Amino acid sequence: MKAYMYDNLPGDQRLPHDSGRQVTAEDLAGLGVLYYRFPETSDVDALAAERGYRNRDEIVVSPEKMGDVYEDKVKMFFHEHLHEDEEIRYIRGGQGYFDVRNKGDEWVRIQLEKDDLIILPAGIFHRFTTDESNYVHAMRLFKDEPKWTPLNRAPELDSNNFRKEYVSQYLN
Least confident of 88-92, 107-111, 146-150: 146-150
* Residue 43 CB partners (closer than 8 Å, separation 6+): 36
Is the per-residue pLDDT at 145 higher than 90? no
- The verdict on residue 171 lying in a domain is no
For residue 111, the enclosing domain spans: 2-166
Question: What percentage of residues in the chain have a pLDDT greater than 70?
Answer: 99
**pLDDT number for residue 74:** 93
Q: Would you place residue 50 in the very low, low, confident or very high pLDDT band (cuts 50, 70, 90)? A: very high
CA-CA distance, 130 to 66, in Å (whole number)? 13
- Domain membership of residue 138 (yes or no) is yes
Question: Is 76 contained in some domain?
Answer: yes
Exposure string over 39-69, b if 16+ CB within 10 A, otherwise e? eeeeebeebbeeeebeeeeebebbeeebeee
Model confidence pTM above 0.85: yes
Sign, Cα dihedral of 154, 28, 13, 22: positive
Backbone angles phi, psi at 171, to 5 degrees: -110, -5
Q: Beta-carbon neighbour count of residue 161 at 10 Å?
A: 10
pLDDT at 144 over 90: no
pLDDT of 148 over the 80 cut: no
* 137 appears as a binding residue in the annotation: no
Whether 172 is in a domain gets the answer no
Find out whether 81 is annotated in a ligand binding site.
Answer: yes
Number of domains in the chain: 1
Element (H, E) at 169: none
DSSP codes, 59-103: EEESHHHHGGGHHHHHHHHTS-EE-SS-EEEEEEEEEEEEEEE-T
Domain with 23 in it: what CATH number?
Answer: 2.60.120.10
Q: Is 87 annotated as a binding residue?
A: yes
Is residue 113 included in any domain, yes or no? Answer: yes
